[in-house]
Amino acid sequence: MDTKNLNLMRTAIYGAGSLGTILGAFINKAGVPVELINRNKAHVEALQTKGAQVTGTIEFCQPVKAYTPDEMSGTYDIIFLMTKQQHNKEVVAMLKDYLAEDGVLVTFQNGLPELQIAEILGEERVLGCTVAWGATMHGPGVCELTSEPDALSFGLGSISEKRSRHFDKVKELLELMGTVDVEENFIGTRWSKLLINASFSGMSAVLGCTFGEAAGPKESRRVVQALIKECIDVCRVGGIRIEPVQGKDIVKLLDYSNSLKKAFSFFIIPIAIRKHAKLKASMLQDIEKGKLTEVDSINGAVSEYGRKVGFPTPVNDCVVEIIHNIEQGKIKPGFENLKYFTGSF
């Protein structure tokens, strides 16, 4: 790929944690400069002195430029937003001053954040990106890629009818790491990622395990299946068409209307997630660090939409309640939490 035009753009990854550090390492490795911004001074210092150390299914070390937010200066043509959603209003309002007049902000966040961000920046300056791979931070500057190399893909789209002038440049940047699907039905793409997060990330946080470990035992897999079913049903009621994930029609594979299809769905769940079996939810990583999670933007978003369209979501409601109790120190992540789902489906 000819990266000459990309080198003329000024790009930053704001909130460069595990995902952002690895994405930034790949882009810089391809010869295109991108700045990594993070509030964690130890992480920034490690990136500055030792480079971004990528471990896991792909291993390399890449020199990068890294800064804390108070060290930012000038304006950027493209900002990748990879922070949690809890403080979006304050963060996006701050980043607005660092965005060029024709610049674009690309959100990589979970849930459905684009509408709120568009209220601050305008629809034409906001793009959304879904990430179909996972990562874990093991220490300052060290991040593990937990998905297989052939599963590195992105979904890119816009909520605006008029596409940003930087859309193609954003696509080219992402292609320096993996494949990019341009999504015309971006809300449907958001929901396909939300379905995965609500079911597998939600249970990873509840049980204190990886995606694969949640999908394995029958008792936990039943809850995963129920979460998937709720997401599919609430979208059907709301008239949302869930898009395929990495070429796989997850609704066709995992939805069911009779006992035979339900048995097939149950059987295929561990197979469907096998390339991401080692992935540990970012919510669980937050819990382990004593931080609040974004469960309200994931399972809570499913519950909120269910209330909007008049469809009950008791299993997602239960995940939200369990994780809030974990955050408050009332219980701990573990398979014993499966007892709280009794009677919810």
Question: What's the pLDDT band for 76 if we cut at 50, 70, 90?
Answer: very high
pLDDT tens-digit profile of 107-135?
Answer: 999 888 888 899 899 988 999 998 989 89
The strand order across the sheet containing 60-62 reads 60-62, 52-56, 142-145, 135-139
pLDDT tens-digit profile of 270-294?
Answer: 998 898 898 999 899 999 999 999 9
Q: Tell the residue number behind the tokens 């990309």, with chain if given.
A: 6
The least confident of 63-67, 151-155, 246-250, 259-263 is 246-250
| For range 180-191, the mean pLDDT | 89
pTM of the shown model: 0.75
Domain residue extents for the chain? 4-184, 188-341
Task: Give DSSP secondary structure letters for 164-181.
Answer: PTTHHHHHHHHTTTSEEE
Name the CATH architecture for the domain at 188-341. Orthogonal Bundle (1.10)
pLDDT tens-digit profile of 79-101?
Answer: 999 998 878 889 999 999 999 99
* pLDDT for the residue numbered 110: 81
Task: Give DSSP secondary structure letters for 125-151.
Answer: GEEEEEE---EEEEETTEEEE-S-GGG
| For range 176-180, the mean pLDDT | 96
Q: Which CATH number fits domain 4-184: 3.40.710.10, 3.40.50.720, 2.40.440.10, 3.40.50.970?
A: 3.40.50.720
* pLDDT for the residue numbered 37: 98
- For residue 91, give both structure tokens: 């963060």
Strand ranges in the chain using DSSP code E only, listed in sequence order: 11-14, 35-37, 52-56, 60-62, 65-67, 76-81, 99-107, 126-131, 135-139, 142-145, 153-157, 179-182
Nearest to 39 by CA among 83, 74, 2: 83
